[in-house]
């Protein structure tokens, strides 16, 4: 019985740690998926696992932090579904072009084969200088495309997108530019603010 349980456990974890070779658009998808937590329960017969207490999923730069994660591996290797729950659960990833994406929601569903995350309940996603908030958001990580529906308590039935014009109004200086071109500030006003 113990040997069977060990074999089933090893089989589930092997399927969790191997990503399919077809997933190659974003370099993270070819890397193993690691799950850390303070406790875990594995049901080998049904090919499910539950990780609890300070759970962290990582796959390259992709990181999901949650209170609890359920892993459904019944569809086979490379088709696992990770359901992260928290108050909120959080996702972040650095895309191939260096752009950082952050997201949060009461539930984050990561479908490995589809390369998507679905956020439910107080869903929010940030990329570059924009923020999208809604009740549900689905984000295709490989294509960097999203769809959002619903709203939250302050704006029921609505999706809110905020674009921050600060990035346009204050262009970044390149490292080689002369700092003396910066307008001089009044030293008295700086002193009075202290």
Q: What is the CATH number of domain 2-121?
A: 2.60.450.10
**Reported confidence tier of residue 26, pLDDT bands at 50, 70, 90:** low
- List the domain boundaries for the chain: 2-121
Please compute, for residue 6, the number of CA atoms within 13 A of its CA located in the half-sphere on the CB side: 3
Helix (H) or strand (E) holding 108: strand 100-111
pLDDT of residue 143: 85
Phi, psi (degrees; rounded to nearest 5) at 108 = -120, 125
Question: Can you tell me whether residue 27 is helix, strand or coil?
Answer: helix
Range with the poorest average pLDDT among 31-35, 107-111, 152-156 = 152-156
Q: Residue with structure tokens 């939250």?
A: 152
pLDDT at 12 (0 to 100)? 41
Band of residue 35 on the pLDDT scale cut at 50, 70, 90: very high
How big is the CA angle at 50 (ends 45 and 55), to the nearest 5 degrees? 150
pLDDT for 178: 46
Is the pLDDT assigned to residue 185 strictly greater than 70? no
pLDDT category at 159 given cuts 50, 70, 90 is: confident
Residue 57 has pLDDT above 90, yes or no: yes
Q: How many Cβ atoms are within 10 Å of 94's Cβ, its own excluded?
A: 16
Q: Within a 10 A sphere around the Cβ of 21, how many other Cβ atoms?
A: 9
User: What is the spatial distance between Cα 66 and Cα 181, in angstroms, rounded to a whole number?
Assistant: 47
Over range 125-154, report the average pLDDT.
83
Phi then psi dihedrals of residue 170, to 5 deg: -125, 80
Q: What is the structure's pLDDT at 124?
A: 92
In this model, does residue 107 exceed pLDDT 70?
yes
Q: What is the mean pLDDT of residues 81-99?
A: 92
Q: Which residue has the higher pLDDT, 110 or 146?
A: 110
Q: How far lies 151's CA from each of 93, 106, 128, 154, in Å?
A: 24, 14, 22, 8
Mean pLDDT of the chain: 76
Tell me what pLDDT residue 156 has: 64
Q: What's the pTM value of the predicted model, to 2 decimals?
A: 0.68
160 has a pLDDT exceeding 70: yes
């Amino acid at each position: 019985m113990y040997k069977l349980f060990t074999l089933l456990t090893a089989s589930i974890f092997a399927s969790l740690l191997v990503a399919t070779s077809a997933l190659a658009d974003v370099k993270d998808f070819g890397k193993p998926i690691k799950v850390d937590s303070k406790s875990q329960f594995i049901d080998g017969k049904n090919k499910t696992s539950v990780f609890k207490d300070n759970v962290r999923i990582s796959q390259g730069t992709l990181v999901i932090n949650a209170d609890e994660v359920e892993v459904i591996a019944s569809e086979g290797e490379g088709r696992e579904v990770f359901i992260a729950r928290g108050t909120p659960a959080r996702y972040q990833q650095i895309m191939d072009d260096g752009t950082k994406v952050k997201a949060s929601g009461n539930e984050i569903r990561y479908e490995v084969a589809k390369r998507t995350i679905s956020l439910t309940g107080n869903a929010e996603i940030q990329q570059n200088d924009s923020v999208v908030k809604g009740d549900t958001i689905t984000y295709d990580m490989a294509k960097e495309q999203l769809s959002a529906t619903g709203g939250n308590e302050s704006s029921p039935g609505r999706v809110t997108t905020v674009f921050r014009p600060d990035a346009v109004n204050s262009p970044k200086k390149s490292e080689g530019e002369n700092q003396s071109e910066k307008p001089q500030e009044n030293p008295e006003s700086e002193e009075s603010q202290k």
